[in-house]
Structure 1
Amino acid sequence: MTKAVFSLIARLALVLTLAAGAAVPVAAQRNPAPVTPELPPAASAPVAMLVDVSNGQVLHARNPQRRFVPASVTKVMTLYLAFELIAEGRLDPDRMMVMSPAVFRDWRRKGSNMFLNLGDQVLVRDLLMGIANVSANDGAAVLAEGFSGSVPAWTDAMNAKASAIGMTGSYFASPNGWPDEGRTFTTAADLVLLARTMIRQHPTLFRQYIGHPGFIYNGIAQVNHDPLTGRFPGADGIKTGFTNEAGFNYLGTARRGDQRLVMVLAGVPDGRTRAQLARRYMEWGFTAFERRPLYPRGAVIGEARVQNGAARKVALVPESAVAINLPQGHRAPLTATIDYDGPLKAPVMAGQEVAMLSITSPGMAPARIPLVAREDVALAGPLDRLVNGLAGWLPW
C-alpha cells in the first residue's frame, strides 16, 4: 500500500483555517446558525447509522457492526442483484416471468404482495416496481425463481454479490426477508455499503425503480410506506422492513445539492417512531455541520505511479466535487492523504477507481473519497520500457 501525503497539506490546512476564521463570524452576525434537532436516544433505535456517502463520512453510528434481522430490507439486495444483471445484459426488464405452482403455493398472499395468482405472467420491470415500492414478497420470489431456476439459487447469487462488494457481516437466506429464525442477518455498516454501491453503480435504475409513492398492478393500488419519500425534501426512499422477529427497520437516503446521506435504523419499537426518527436523523445530518468545499469535480488531487505502462504516472481526480462536513466552529487544520495499492499495474483505464483520498482532522469524522484515473495508461511498448528504465536511474 502506497500512502502519499499531500505536498501542499500545510497550505491546504492554512487556507481552510483562514477561510473558517474569516467567514464564520460574518455569517453568524447576519444569519444565526439554525437550531438543529438532537440525536434520538439509544433506547428508540438500538442500531442507527448516518453516513454522507458523497465523501464517506460517518456522521453518527450506534452499533454499526451489530448483526440484526433486516426483514423486508433484504429486498434491497434482491434489487441490487437485479440491477447488476440488467447492467450485464443478462436480465431484460421486458422479460416475462410466470407465477409457478411452487411460488404460488409458498407465497400467495403471504405478507405484503402484488396479489399475483397462479400462472400470472409478469414483466420483470413490474416485479421490480412491486418489490421496491410495495414490498412484494410474491414478486421477489417470482423474480428469483424466474431468473435462477429456484429461490435457493437466487439467494446463493445474492450472497456471492454481497461478498463481492464487501458486505462481510451479512447473509441472505431468502429474496424477501420473510422470518427464517435468524438465518438472514445484516449490519448497518453493510446496508450503507449496499446503498452506496447501488446508487453509485446504477443511478439510472435506482431513479427508475426506487422511491415512487406507490404502485398499481392489476387495478390494485398500493402506497409506499417509506417514511421519507414525499415527506422530506430530497428523499429517495429505499426500503422499510418489519416483522415481529426484527422490529421496525429502515434503509433510506436523501440528497440535497451534491450531498447524499444514507441512514439505517433497526429495532425501532413501532412504525410511527421509525418515521419520526428517520426525519430527525436526516434533518440533523443536513444541518448540524458546516459543509466546506475542497475541490471541484475533475481537479487533479495527486498522482499514482504506474508499473509497466506507457506513462510512469497517472493523474488522480475525484468523480464529483469534494466537500467535507465540519462540526460547527471547527478550526483544527486538515490533513489529506492518498492511499493506493501501488505501483498500479498497466493498463489503467480512464475513470477506473485506483486510489482513496482521506481527509482527517481532530474532532472530525474522517472523509474517504474515491479517486479515479484521469486518463488511460496503456501497456508499455519496447520504446516505453526503455525510456522508463532509463528514467528510473535519473534523480528526477
Structure 2
Amino acid sequence: MCSPAANAARTTITPAIPSAQDAPIALLIDLSSGQTLFARDIDRRFMPASMTKVMTVFTAFEWMHRGKLFPQQVITVAPDVFDKWHGVGSTMFLPKDARVTVDQLLHGITTVSANDGAAALAHGAAGSIAKWVAAMNREARSIGMTNSHYGTPNGWMDQGGTFVTARDLATLATAMIERYPDLYRRYFGARTLTYNGITQRNHDPITGVVPGADGIKTGFTNQAGYGFLGSAQRNGRRLVMVVATSPTGRQRNKAAQEFMEWGFDAFDSRLLFGANTQIAKAKVQNGGLSRVKLVSPRPIRVDVPKGTHPEVGLKVRYFGPLRAPIARGEHVADLIVSVDGKEVGTRPLVSDRAIGTATIVQRIFNGFARWLP
C-alpha cells in the first residue's frame, strides 16, 4: 500500500517522456515483457559517476552467491583506504581502523552512495582495489555489458577510465534484479541510513515519490552531469529506467519521475501466458521422449499503447530437433513476440522436464511413432 505522502506526491507528477534537454540520454524498459518502451542515444558512452557502485554491489551479490563473501563478514578499513576516502564526496563516515560488516557496507553504498564504503568493500573483499575492479569488469562482460569499462569501485573521476552506456546499465539492473531479487529488496530502497551515530537520507528521486519505486542509484560529478538508474514495480510490471547527462539535479529528478509514470500510464500490459504454462512442444532427437513441452518460468506479458488493440504475434524459435539429454528447466528455445508485425521482445522458453538419452527399446518405439499419423 502506498503511503499518503506518496499518493500526494504522485498527483503532482505529469507522466511524460523527458525532453532531450532534461535527459539527453534516456531509456525505459519493461522487464515483465522484455520490451523497450523508449530509447534515446542509448549506446552513447558516458561517465556513470556513482552509478558505478551498482556494479560494485552486483559483484558483491555474485561473490555472496558463490560463497566468496558473506553479509556478516567483518572487514577492517585499511589505513590507506581511510586516508584516501575519508570525507571525500558522499560518505558513510567510516572511522579509522573501523571493523564493519559487508552488510553495513552494502547498505552504506546503496543508501547514501558511500565512496568510502565502496572502497573499503573492494579492498577488504579482494585484497586490493585493483583486484576488485578487475572482478567488476569480468562480471560486466559475463552479463553482456559490451560497451562499458570500470576503473574504480565508486565512480570517482578517473580521466575517463570508467564509462558505460544506458543499454549496458539496463542490462546490469536486469541481471541484478532477476538473479538476486531477495538481495535487491534487502539492500535497495531504504530512505535513510544511520551509521556511526549519523543519520543521512537517500537522494533517490523516485523512491517514496513514485508508487512502487524501490531504487536504484543516482550519480553526479561535474564531468558526468546528473544521472539515475531507477526501477519500480506496479501491478505485475517491473520497469527499469536510465536518464543520464542531465545538466542539473532538478532536471534529472523531474525527468526520472515523469518518465517512470509515463511508462506505467501510457501502456496496457496484457498477460499472454502464466508462469510454467505450456506454450509449445519441440522435437527431441535420441531422447527417452520424442517431444518436450516448452514453458516460461515467468509470466509472459506484452505492452501495447493504452487504448489500442494491435495484432500480437507469437513465434517459437529453436534449433531442432533438440538433442537429449535435456535438463529440466534448461533454456532450449525462445518465444518471439511481435506487435502489428514488429518484433518487440524475446522471452526464454525452458523444458518442463528432464529427458535422458533413449534406450535401444525407446529408440525403436520412437522410430515407429514417427510413422504414425
TM-score (norm 1): 0.86
Instruction: Provide the residue aligned with 2:170 in structure 1.
Output: 192
Uncovered stretches (5+) of structure 1, i.e. residues with no partner: 1-34
Q: Is it true that 1:76 corresponds to 2:54 in the alignment?
A: yes
- 1:148 counterpart = 2:126: yes
Q: Partner of 1:299 in structure 2? A: 277
CA distance in 1, matches of 2:372, 2:158: 64
Q: CA deviation at 1:50?
A: 0.3
The 1:395/1:91 distance shift into structure 2, 3 A limit, reads same
Which string of whole-angstrom CA distances, capped at 9 and with x for unpartnered residues, describes residues 350-372 of structure 1?
Answer: 23333221211238671222222
SS of residue matched to 1:139 = helix
Return the offset for 1:340. 3.1
* Counterparts of 1:52 and 1:83, CA distance in 2: 23
Q: What's the C-alpha RMSD, in Å, of the aligned pairs?
A: 2.0
Residue identity opposite 1:222 in structure 2? Q
Which residues of structure 2 form unaligned runs of 5+? 1-12
Match of 1:322 in 2: 300
2:74 counterpart residue number: 96
Post-superposition CA distance 1:324-364 (Å, at most 9, x none): 11123434422211223444444333233332212112386
2:199 maps to 1:218: no
Q: Do residues 65 (structure 1) and 43 (structure 2) align?
A: yes
Counterparts of 2:141 and 2:103, CA distance in 1: 26
More displaced stretch, 244-253 vs 330-339: 330-339
Does 2:237 correspond to 1:263? no
In 1, Cα distance between equivalents of 2:67 and 2:320? 33
Query: How much does 1:309 deviate?
Result: 3.2
State how far apart, in whole Å, the 2-side matches of 1:187 and 1:140 are: 21
How big is the shift at 1:90? 1.7
- Which residue of the partner structure matches residue 131 of structure 1? 109
The answer to whether the 8 A contact 2:15-2:260 is kept is no
Compared CA separation, residues 387 and 110, structure 1 to 2 (3 A) = farther
Determine whether 1:247 maps to 2:225. yes
Query: Partner of 2:215 in structure 1?
Result: 237
The answer to whether the 8 Å contact 1:317/1:374 transfers is yes
Distance in 2, matches of 1:353 and 1:214, equals 40
| 1:348 is aligned to 2:292 | no
Conservation of the 8 A alpha-carbon contact between 2:16 and 2:261: no
Q: Secondary structure at the match of 2:262?
A: helix
The answer on 1:86 being equivalent to 2:64 is: yes
- Kindly indicate whether residue 88 of structure 2 is the aligned counterpart of residue 110 of structure 1: yes
Q: Distance in 2 between matches of 1:154 and 1:132?
A: 18
Question: Are 2:266 and 1:288 aligned?
Answer: yes
Report the CA distance between 1:310 and its aligned residue: 2.7
Taking the aligned partners of 1:341 and 1:106, their CA distance within structure 2 comes to 54
- Distance in 2 (CA, whole Å) between partners of 1:391 and 1:148 is 59
Identify which range, 218-227 or 320-329, moves more after superposition. Answer: 320-329
Change (3 A) 1:272 1:314: same
Matched letter for residue 96 of structure 2:
L
Distance 1:312 1:106 in 2: 63
TM-score (norm 2): 0.91
1:312 counterpart (263, 273, 290): 290
Count of residues in correspondence between the two structures: 361
Distance 1:36 1:345, change over 3 A: farther
Identity of aligned pairs, percent?
47
The farther-off stretch of 378-387 and 168-177 is: 378-387
